[in-house]
Structure 1
Amino acid sequence: MEIFDITLPIHPEMLHWGRKPEVEIVESLANGDASNVTRWRLGAHTGTHVDAPAHFVDGATPIDKVSLHSLVGPAIVVDMTHVTGDITVEDLTAAGVSGQRRVLFKTTNSGGPLKETDRAPSWVGLSPAAAKALIDDGVELVGIDYLTIESHTLTDTWDAHHALLGAGVLILENADLDAVPPGDYELVCLPAKLVDADGSFTRAILIKRDPA
């Protein structure tokens, strides 16, 4: 069995949309306290995280009530490193993702913008038409290797987010797929159980099991 950790490390200088994480030392052995204790200030969408439907739809499912069956199970990592711009319906057709419940897109983001500490001016996202095609095909979770699955040209209207989350499809963002070969895996993605939250940071892994 091979395990790929696709989770970004969380630290104060990391790539982040907006305010970066902050760490406060509450107690320390060096100062004579009984133990080391830190307090972290970070957003629900820090690092590798899952967007719940409540992120864009008032009254929709929050992160603590999303189905674990959507977050754990067979997944495909799709090679989209040839895409420059947005992933299109034609790209989906060529990749043969029809019938997949959990789809993770590996793009040039993983080896480029995802490794920077500041947001890039452009990145590979998912076109609204491709998002709707995935919904029509019955997908339950869609992942990408950047801060957002949205096209860098549509962060004023958030069309892909409205489509996916409005249909109850979960979005996994900031998945580090740089070292992950395209193919079939088992996804284990467990966001923190933040009550009534719009999303949550998560530990996510992909498992490749040896043939029986």
Structure 2
Amino acid sequence: MTTEYRAHFDFTIAFANGGGLSGEGFRLDLPRQDVTAEEIGTLLVAHLGLALVSDVALRDLRIVEEKHRGSRGVPAPAKGAEERVIDLSHPIEAGMVTYPGLPVPTIVPHLTREDSRGKYAPGTEFAMDVITMIGNTGTYLDAPFHRYADGSDLAGLDLGTLVGLRAEVFHLQDGWDADRRGIEAVTLADRELQGAAVLLDTGWSSRFGTPEYAHGAPFLTEGGARFLVDAGVQLVGIDSLNIDDTEGGGARPAHTLLLAAGIHVVEHLTNLADVPARGARFTAAPPAVRGFGTFPVRSFATVGSH
């Protein structure tokens, strides 16, 4: 995997037509390690989308080995590179807790290998097992039927809206503020998102399977959901307990808005930190079950060779 670098610095920008702009503790993706301060200044201006800049001054500049977060002006991984597949799903096992209070999966044998030996030719054996679980188990996808009685069920989903979607990953772990858990529209406003799978990397999946996973989880705000609907996204995924704030009462505005617009929701993702901000393809296809609105998926991202 290619080593990535980022610059950490404070800055002051002056404009040719008057006025200025300053920032502290800024972080910026770099195309390579040996970038000059002048080049970083140019990248900063491009990232911020500024015009008529007369001067850029950087202070306390440090270049560190760090995964990219999606700064504008830095190219995505080159096409034609060796393809990698990144698994973004939690494995399902008996007794696992996905969402506190929901039934845990049970797995029992229907036919053991030992019992099968008397049913088949010598040297031939099989195992068949029965799994009982709620649809909201592990990493799962919500179809419109999950929220709306007249919405499309899992069998009615178009595979073209689930396979090989352009992924826009928002890496939000830097400086995460536990007191401001909601992901707002302004956080998502720096990219072209139409038709994309928007994946929200909060780092919360590191708590999966522990009591801490259920409390203080990040979520998408109503304003953030409305912004994504207006942007025309195809799917929204998050590595957290829920796309909505489950500690704010019974309202579920993100589910309500996204699923009403036919936008798929994938919850309880993992390993999103390994997916580049741009340039990957995302897949999350559930089985085609009629009359069902939620089911686990084997979600994954492919990087390179697109």
TM-score normalized by structure 1? 0.89
CA 1:199–1:108 in 2, change beyond 3 Å: closer, same or farther? Answer: same
1:160 maps to what in 2?
Answer: 254
1:33-182 to 2 correspondences below 5 Å: 33=117, 34-72=125-163, 73-82=165-174, 83-84=176-177, 85-93=181-189, 95-96=190-191, 98-99=193-194, 101-111=196-206, 113-116=207-210, 119-154=213-248, 156-182=250-276
Per the alignment, residue 11 of structure 1 pairs with 93
CA distance in 1, matches of 2:141, 2:130: 22
Give the match for residue 39 of structure 2: none
SS at structure 2 position matched to 1:76: strand
Q: Which residue of 1 aligns with 2:108?
A: 24
Shift of 1:91: 1.2
Where does structure 1 lack aligned partners over 5 or more consecutive residues? Answer: none
Q: Give the unaligned 5+ runs of structure 2.
A: 1-82, 118-124
| Structure 1 contact 14–117 (Cα < 8 Å) conserved | no
User: In structure 2, what is the equivalent of residue 189 of structure 1?
Assistant: 284
| Between 7-16 and 96-105, the greater mean CA deviation after superposition | 96-105
Percent identity between the two aligned chains: 23
Instruction: Give how far 1:100 is off.
Output: 5.3
- Bigger CA drift: 7-16 or 179-188? 179-188
Relative to 1, partners in 2 of residues 1:23 and 1:55: Cα closer, same or farther, differing over 3 Å?
same
Could you tell me how far apart the structure 2 residues matched to 1:137 and 1:37 are? 45
Secondary structure of residue in 1 paired with 2:204 = coil
Q: What is the CA distance between 1:122 and its match in structure 2?
A: 1.7
1:8, CA displacement in angstroms?
0.8
The alpha-carbon distance between structure 1 residues 35 and 99, as it changes in their structure 2 partners (threshold 3 A), is closer
Aligned length: 209
Question: Does the aligned pair in 1 maintain the 2:105–2:132 contact within 8 Å?
Answer: yes
Do the aligned partners of 1:16 and 1:117 also contact (CA within 8 Å) in 2?
no
Contact residue 140 and residue 295 of structure 2 kept, 8 A = yes
Taking structure 1 as reference, are residues 192 and 118 closer, same or farther at Cα in structure 2, changes over 3 Å only?
farther
Cα displacement string for residues 36-56 of structure 1 (whole angstroms, at most 9, x for unaligned residues): 221000112211111000111
Contact 2:202 2:240 in 1 (8 A): no
Determine if contact 2:171/2:273 at 8 Å carries over to the other structure.
no
Moved over 4 A (4+): 31-34
TM-superposed deviation, 1:77:
1.6
Name the larger-Rg structure: 2
Give the SS at the match of 2:236.
Answer: strand
Measure, in 1, the Cα distance between the counterparts of 2:241 and 2:218.
Answer: 11
Is 2:288 aligned against 1:204? no
